[in-house]
Chains A and B, each alone.
Chain A
Amino acid sequence: MPAITYLEAISDGLREEMRDDDSVFCLGEDIGAFGGAFKVTDGFYEEFGSDRVWDTPLAENAIVGTAVGAAIEGWRPVCEMQFADFIACGFDQLVNVAAKMNYRQGVSVPMVVRLPSGGGFSGGPYHSQNPEAWFMQAPGLKVVAPATAEDAKGLLASAIRDPNPVIYLEHKHLYRRIKGDVRAGRYETPLGELRVARAGTDLTVVAYGAMVHTALEATEDLDGASVEVLDLRTLCPMDTDGILKSVRKTSKVVVLHEATRSCGVGAEVCALIGEEAFEDLDGPIVRVTAPDVPIPFSPPLERAVLPQVDGVKEACRELLAY
């Protein structure tokens, strides 16, 4: 089958799930007749009707909170935040109601919140964030971040079938830039398993989302070194075994993410490696991330902040030489 874009894969996955199970429905702003800000739900309104493709008022807590109630009563809502950044306006319902419901009350909440995340196109501070670490601090939420078209579809299906609230980070910069062969029909990519994007022996780059492609490009031809690139795919629950297995093999690790530095996913991965694989390390664990600043708007500023291929190359070279 022909390769499709990451965006098309998300649409495809969502459509398959909605066709397969009547209890799956979408809610969010402008997703109906308009087809969604990024056209993920283009054509859905015509196929599934306004009840299952609901144009909500501009009220993120309402979107998330209503989804909680509907999920408890037998539906599988897929919420769309127009930009990941706006989850902050629905944060209370997400971390206080959805995340804790099963632990406290034994009532599961099968829902998905899709977050178009990431920068690289002058979106500025409110349209470029990668907020995944916030959710990893809220026990009860699962978090996935596909990097490929194939995984975008499969992880979305798994997220929808999961009885827990799942945050699905779709990187906006990958929407039309990445294409891949995607299996037709329904398939589920399991949560909690990383993918070895490229096997190698000298150094491991741990990445997810758009940065997987940056890592692959940066280490494609790096002074003959054999660099393994891991695509985490699921951030919570993280595939810790997979990470440690790679560390034991290469003994050198660069952790890469587009999100800002402090207390990010990278901090968690570094702590894990330090705790569990100390005696397998042949060098310090290195993080390549955005610094702790809001993402700026003007292109030279944004480029200086978001990790670039050259920066990743540099970090890998340094560590290889250690």
Chain B
Amino acid sequence: MATSTAKPAALDPQRSGAEGTALTASDRGELLRYMLLMRSTEERALSLYRQGKIPGSFYDGRGQEAVSVGSAFALAPQDRTCILHRDLGAHLLRGVAPGLVLAQMMGRAGGPTGGRDGNMHFGVAELGNVGMVSMLPDMMLVACGLALSFQMRSEPRVAMTWFGDGSTANGQWHEAMNLAGVRRLPIVFVLENNQFAYSTPNEREFAVDPVERAAVYGFPGVRVDGNDVEAVFEAANAACDRARAGGGPTLIEAVTMRMHGHGAHDDMNYVPPEMIEEWSKKDPIDAYSARAEREGVDVQALKAEIKELIDRETDWALDQPMPDPATATERVFATEDPKLGDGKAPWSRWANQTDREP
């Protein structure tokens, strides 16, 4: 199983495949919408951070929008996710309102963790996401557990999880890859290689591109252009369908660039300016806007709509109260079993889903 950068054969819309695996014009509009939504939400959040409204640290995924949006677009409602800090697009696509994200960052009681955890450490359980921890890539193993439970119940469902280039050095990365491979778990591992782990560039992180390791663990590794939302989507969809059919895991390496610092406090002076220059010409949203327009999407109207939405959502978030200090010691222990719900799935393929067959 060699690595491949070609378009996965299973998804060529020219071929007959399962009905509706192609993208409609409306789908393309959705892909753009969610990338724009991610960008706008993060820009607003950064602004709030600079206004002194966000405690602690601030992290965004500017320039990487195509990775989370493209991959999450392939998910069916009953699939499950462990989303990471530069993948806001996946949260939004699965149905999390931008206001909730802003409230979360501002530590408000109305946010998804009620102020108990900060920045992107959240997951809306009702939409099928398990919130991340700081230690990376711990969520890969949790996602393996989700996938294992689907496998044990013989359900055609997929777990998808994201992680960065730095985490591939960690022992748990290998434990997850090995476990997924030996059990042929229905899981999609999305490695977003954004060139830097904080200030550490790829050449100091690994000797060989991690996508090559997939073969050694027994499943395919696919490298795609992380700034081409449709390429990411196609790779993710092929991986999901494979997993649902019992074909086991896939490692997708989406090659992209982190356009901001590790966090808002990082001026990224270790990044060569020409690298920033080069990658800003490959902005995923700029590239796709043009494509979407050709398909008939009114990009200007979309942007205006999103701006208005973000303003409304910001107002809502700013209205949310801070948490009551008296509740700080509550909820250490649970009294009920967990219940994850299904996420939204805007891809037209899932629009008339009545059963769970792929």
Contacts and interface: CB of A to CB of B under 8 A. Distances in A.
Asked if chains A and B are in direct contact (CB within 8 A), the reply is yes
Interface of A: 25, 51-52, 56-57, 59, 61-62, 64-75, 77, 92-93, 96-97, 100-110, 139-140, 142, 163-164, 237
Interface stretch (B50-58, B120-128, B308-316): B120-128
B110 to A, nearest CB: 13
Among B138, B141, B145, chain A packs the most CB atoms within 10 A around the CB of B145
Nearest to A66: B145
Contacts of B171: 61
A103 B331 contact: yes
B152 A75 contact: yes
B125 A69 contact: no
A37 B113 CA distance: 41
In the complex, the 3 A-B pairs of residues with the closest C-beta atoms, listed nearest first? A69-B145, A65-B141, A108-B334
Contact of A73 (B80, B116, B117, B178): B80
Contacts of B335: 163
Interface in B29-74: none
6 contacts: A61-B138, A102-B332, A104-B131, A105-B122, A107-B123, A163-B336
Nearest to B174: A59
A316 B185 CA distance: 57
B353 to A, nearest CB: 20
Given A61-B171, A62-B176, A163-B334, A96 B146 contact: no
B148 interface: yes
Nearest to A109: B338
Contacts of A67: 145
B33 to A, nearest CB: 27
A77 B144 CA distance: 14
B144 A92 contact: no
A67 B148 CA distance: 9
* Consensus secondary structure, chain A interface: helix
Given A103-B116, A104-B117, A140-B332, A65 B142 contact: yes
A105 B334 contact: no
B338 A107 contact: yes
B323 to A, nearest CB: 13
B290 interface: no
A320 to B, nearest CB: 39
Interface in B320-339: 331-338
Contacts of B338: 71-74, 107-110, 163
Nearest to A111: B145
Interface string B86-115: 000000000000000000000000001110
Interface string B217-236: 00000000000000000000
Contacts of A73: 80, 145-146, 149-150, 338, 340
B143 interface: yes
Contacts of A71: 145, 338
Given A61-B141, A61-B172, A104-B113, A69 B333 contact: no
Contacts of A102: 331-334
B27 to A, nearest CB: 29
A251 B328 CA distance: 35
Contacts of A107: 123, 125, 130-131, 338, 340
B175 A61 contact: yes
Given A72-B340, A102-B334, A110-B337, 12 more contacts: A25-B152, A57-B182, A65-B144, A65-B145, A68-B142, A69-B141, A69-B147, A73-B340, A75-B149, A97-B142, A107-B131, A164-B333
